[in-house]
């Protein structure tokens, strides 16, 4: 398909010429926007030296994607891979790093699966109720610990602006592939604090994950959450939150029967995967000295359970639990006429437990535990509201591996009277092996390697942000470079399969370009392009990491803002993946590039009732994100949103 590479660069060039934006009817003079993850305390974007992007509540609602993983396709530097229809295993990679190198935080809780080295499964995260997504790119272990080699994705749920008094909202939607979903949330706020809760359910008939199959792989998802914060007095507040997810996905399997005509391919089968997640958080915050000295004490809990069945019979299962206790103190002061200083110190204790289960009584049925103590220190300096410097240092004492030290430095310079901000960062990271990599989960096919060492990385980036058009335009350019040592890989040259550390250094480098603008109040445009070159220590391209990704989005509001049309196009370049067809000499295959188009529209019938509708895969593209797994064709959906507020 020779048109695709040409299309990519023509697409980006034309888009950048016309420029880009994230949200409608707002100035893009966002230097005062609060960024949460670029430091141990929130800070304004102007002071951030790292590459960061944000999806606002208006972005999320106007684009209407059902799953957050699909929304993340709209941000530079991210690659999304889903193994088939809705509910299938979904991975997100940042800047060519592995999926378990991305730390995912939901409402302050590190939400990754403890059993799987903290990797978060995006298959089950619906976008309904999400009000903000922040993506911080580059090694961030000095701030956030293991799993943050590629970066951090921070997800915030609940309304961005909680009104005083009671409120409620709901959504009902149906459409293609026998899709039905509904969500209801309610809460109240006041001087005493706030409380909110939500319930959501999705039932999707789906498609067959097998390209040659006819049996639908259906999916259902139930998610409930509760959040409350209480202001004890002017200095002290307490917050409690909980989240539960239960999901069931039908699955097709790969045919591994030697001599079969479909060997190595995905075929219709009676498989099922059941996932259960519990998250909890309690935090007390104390502010002293007119807010200059703050203390935070928190306890976080994550419990993930997975069970797989074939033909109704239990195949294998896993459970991972993590308790995380943290104390953090922050102190801010000033010197001279316009110099600001901020210091954060953290002490953290993690207690992890893992369990693997199978129907037999073999050695794969086992439990393990792990503990880690960590201490971190971060210092931030602001000079004359122009120059912003930061440095962070972290020490991890793990009972299974050698102690680790990671660090990070950033710098940003807002050039006076120019609209330019120059920025750069350098950091190191570490990612510990997962439970199944260390100990295995099925001795007939895969055995663990207890001698694995943690992966480590170092990386840097430099970039420039340019604000123009009186704050209604923003252009960004970033170059990044990182190296990964002791990369963990699966060795398919032996049987049973196992894992090992690579002896050389794997490399990732590339560029990220984005431009956004509101040319008039009714129109918002955005575009971005990412080039990522990710190679292992032998110079071979890493799997499922396209070199070229391009995005275009346009939003038009009319009829006094009562009507909105949002149009988006995503280009995903060619990428490599593994193939297990014994009849061929190859061990890898090149997946074709593809273009996904989406159009969404909404209309406010009243101040409280809104009609919504969208079309996904607008061009009815046939594509695979993982070799052998089919993806849905064109689909149309429609529904209604209702919001009620006191008064």
Average pLDDT (587-595) is: 94
Q: Tell me, what DSSP letter sits at residue 119?
A: B
**376 phi and psi angles, rounded to 5 deg:** -140, 150
Q: What's the CA gap between 596 and 381, in Å, rounded?
A: 43
What is the pLDDT, as a whole number, of residue 334?
93
| Structure confidence at residue 31 (pLDDT) | 61
Is 12's pLDDT higher than 60?
no
Confidence band for 21, pLDDT divided at 50, 70 and 90: very low
Q: What pLDDT was estimated at residue 20?
A: 32
Prediction pTM value: 0.93
C-alpha separations of 398 from 79, 146, 405, 645 in Å: 31, 11, 11, 49
- With 70 as the cut, is the pLDDT of residue 373 above it? yes
Check whether 144 has a pLDDT greater than 80: yes
Pick the closest to residue 513 from 496, 490, 493, 530 (CA basis).
530
Residue 494 has pLDDT above 90, yes or no: no
Tell me the percentage of the chain whose pLDDT exceeds 90. Answer: 78
- pLDDT for res 547: 97
| DSSP label of 18 | H
Q: Residue written as tokens 């994950």? A: 209
Residue 9 has pLDDT above 60, yes or no: no
Strand boundaries in 455-574, DSSP class E: 455-468, 473-485, 488-491, 498-501, 505-520, 523-535, 548-558, 563-572
Cα of first residue to Cα of last residue in the chain, in angstroms, is 58
Q: Which structure tokens are listed for 346?
A: 């953290």
Mean of pLDDT values over 144-151 = 91
Give the span between the Cα atoms of 26 and 13, in whole angstroms. 25
Q: Which helix (H) or strand (E) holds 613?
A: strand 609-616
Residue 452 clears pLDDT 90, i.e. is over it: yes
Give the total residue count for the chain: 647
- What is the per-residue pLDDT for 103? 95
User: Is the separation of the CB atoms in 420 and 464 below 8 Å?
Assistant: yes
- Rounded CA-CA distance 457/591 in Å is 28
pLDDT mean over 390-403: 94
CA angle 203, 206, 207 (to 5 degrees): 170
Digit-coded pLDDT (tens) for 38-89:
999 999 999 999 999 999 998 999 999 999 999 999 999 999 999 999 999 9
Task: Please state, in angstroms and as integers, the Cα–Cα distance from residue 177 to each residue in 73, 397, 633, following that order.
Answer: 22, 49, 10
Going from the C-alpha of 540 to that of each of 485, 544, 590, the distances in angstroms are: 15, 12, 13
pLDDT at 342 over 60: yes
Confidence of residue 8 (pLDDT cuts 50, 70, 90): very low
Is 131 buried (19+), middle (13-18) or exposed (0-12) by CB count in 10 A?
middle
User: What does the pLDDT read at residue 164?
Assistant: 83
- How many Å apart are CA 356 and CA 595, to the nearest integer? 40
Residue 475 near residue 468 (C-beta atoms within 8 A): yes
The pLDDT of residue 523: 94
- C-alpha 625/C-alpha 522 separation (Å) is 35
DSSP per-residue letters across 139-169: --HHHH-TT-SSEEEEEEES-SSPPSEEEEE
Structure tokens at 102: 């991305």
Count CB neighbours of 457 within 10 A.
26
Q: What is the DSSP string of 219-250?
A: EEEEEEEEEEEEE-SSSEEEEEEEEEEEEEEE
Torsion of CA 115, 119, 122, 124, to 10 degrees: 10
- The 3-state DSSP class for residue 620 equals coil
SS3 content of the chain, % helix, strand, coil (to 5): 10, 60, 35
3-state secondary structure of 604: strand
Per residue in 172-189, pLDDT (tens digit) is: 999 999 999 999 999 999
pLDDT at 159 over 90: no
> What angle (nearest 5°) sits at the alpha carbon of residue 27, between those of residues 390 and 562?
135
**Residues 189 and 135: beta-carbon distance below 8 Å:** no
Query: What's the pLDDT score for residue 160?
Result: 76
Whether 496 and 444 have beta carbons less than 8 Å apart is answered as yes
* Tokens linked to 89: 């295993």
Q: How far is CA 419 from CA 339, 380, 410, 468, in A?
A: 21, 23, 20, 7
- Residues sharing a CB contact under 8 Å with residue 228, sequence separation 6 or more, in sequence order: 193, 194, 195, 196, 239, 240, 241
Comparing 108-122, 229-243, 449-463, 543-557, the range with the smallest average pLDDT is 108-122
595-609 pLDDT, tens digit per residue, is 999 999 999 999 999
Asked if residue 176 has a cis previous peptide bond (ω within 30° of 0), the answer is no
Q: What is the pLDDT of residues 277-329, one digit of tens each?
A: 999 999 999 999 999 999 999 999 999 999 999 999 998 899 999 999 999 99
CB-based contact 599:565 (threshold 8 Å)? yes
Token pair recorded at residue 103? 């730390």
Domains and CATH numbers, the chain: 3-645 (2.40.170.20)
Question: Which of 94-98, 115-119, 246-250, 373-377 is predicted least confidently?
Answer: 115-119
Alpha-carbon distance values, 618 to 91, 219, 569, 596, 636 (Å): 23, 22, 9, 7, 9
Q: Measure the CA–CA gap between 559 and 565, rounded to whole angstroms.
A: 11
Confidence (pLDDT) at 192? 92
CB 100 within 8 A of CB 116: yes
Report the pLDDT value the prediction gives residue 28, as an integer from 0 to 100. 46
Integer Rg of the chain from CA: 24
Helices (H), 19-133: 57-63, 68-71
Residue 264: the pLDDT is 86
Contacts of 62 (CB under 8 A, 6+ apart): 24, 555, 564, 566, 600, 602
Whole-number pLDDT of residue 336 = 82
């Amino acid at each position: 398909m020779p048109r695709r590479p040409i299309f990519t660069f023509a697409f980006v060039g034309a888009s950048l010429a016309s420029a880009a934006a994230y949200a409608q009817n707002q100035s893009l003079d966002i230097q005062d926007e609060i960024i949460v993850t670029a430091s141990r305390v929130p800070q304004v974007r102007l002071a951030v030296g790292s590459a960061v992007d944000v999806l606002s509540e208006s972005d999320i609602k106007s684009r209407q994607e059902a799953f957050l993983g699909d929304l993340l396709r709209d941000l530079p530097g991210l690659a999304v891979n889903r193994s088939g229809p809705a509910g299938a295993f979904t991975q997100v990679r940042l800047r060519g790093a592995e999926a378990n190198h991305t730390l995912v935080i939901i409402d302050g809780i590190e939400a990754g699966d403890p059993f799987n080295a903290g990797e978060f499964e995006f298959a089950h995260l619906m976008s309904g109720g999400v009000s903000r997504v922040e993506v911080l790119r580059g090694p961030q272990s000095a701030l956030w610990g293991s799993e943050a080699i590629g970066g951090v994705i921070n997800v915030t749920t609940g309304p961005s602006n909680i009104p005083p008094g009671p409120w409620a909202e709901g959504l009902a939607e149906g459409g293609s592939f026998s899709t039905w979903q509904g969500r209801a949330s309610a809460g109240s706020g006041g001087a005493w604090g706030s409380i909110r809760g939500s319930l959501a359910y999705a039932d999707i008939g789906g498609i067959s994950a097998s390209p040659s199959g006819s049996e639908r792989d259906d999916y259902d998802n139930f998610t409930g959450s509760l959040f409350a914060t209480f202001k004890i007095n002017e200095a002290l507040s307490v917050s409690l939150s909980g989240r539960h997810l239960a999901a069931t996905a039908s699955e097709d399997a790969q045919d591994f029967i030697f001599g079969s005509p479909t060997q190595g391919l995905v075929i219709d089968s009676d498989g099922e995967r059941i996932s259960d997640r519990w998250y909890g958080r309690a935090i007390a915050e104390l502010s002293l000295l007119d807010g200059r000295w703050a203390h935070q004490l928190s306890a976080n809990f994550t419990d993930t359970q997975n069970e797989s069945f074939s033909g109704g019979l239990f195949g294998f299962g896993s459970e991972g639990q993590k308790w995380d206790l943290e104390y953090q103190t922050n102190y801010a002061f000033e010197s001279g006429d316009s110099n600001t200083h901020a210091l954060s110190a953290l002490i953290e204790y993690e207690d992890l437990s893992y369990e693997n289960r199978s129907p037999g009584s073999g050695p794969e049925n086992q439990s393990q535990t792990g503990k880690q103590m960590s201490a971190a220190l971060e210092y931030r300096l602001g000079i004359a509201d122009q120059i912003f410097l930061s440095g962070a240092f972290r020490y991890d004492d793990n009972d299974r591996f050698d102690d680790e030290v990671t660090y990070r430095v950033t710098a940003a310079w807002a050039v006076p009277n120019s609209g330019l901000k120059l920025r750069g960062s350098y950091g190191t990271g570490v990612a510990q092996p997962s439970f199944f990599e260390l100990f295995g989960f099925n001795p007939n096919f895969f055995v663990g390697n207890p001698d694995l060492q943690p992966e480590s990385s170092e990386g840097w980036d430099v970039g420039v942000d340019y604000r123009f058009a009186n704050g209604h335009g923003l252009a960004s350019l970033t170059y990044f470079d990182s190296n990964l040592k002791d990369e963990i890989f699966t060795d398919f040259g032996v049987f049973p399969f196992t894992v090992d550390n690579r002896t050389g250094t794997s490399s990732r480098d590339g560029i990220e370009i984005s431009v956004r603008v509101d040319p008039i109040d009714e129109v918002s445009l955005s575009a971005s392009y990412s080039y990522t070159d990710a190679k292992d220590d032998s110079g071979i391209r890493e799997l499922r990491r396209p070199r070229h990704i391009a995005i275009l989005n346009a939003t038009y509001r009319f009829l006094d803002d009562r009507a909105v049309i949002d149009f988006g196009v995503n280009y995903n370049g060619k990428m490599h993946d593994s193939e297990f067809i014994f009849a061929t000499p190859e061990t890898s295959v090149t997946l074709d590039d593809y273009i996904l188009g989406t159009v969404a529209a909404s209309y406010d019938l009243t101040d409280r009732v809104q009609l919504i509708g969208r079309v996904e895969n607008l061009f009815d593209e046939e594509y695979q994100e993982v070799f052998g797994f089919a993806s849905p064709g064109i689909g149309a959906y429609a529904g209604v949103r209702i919001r009620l507020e006191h008064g």
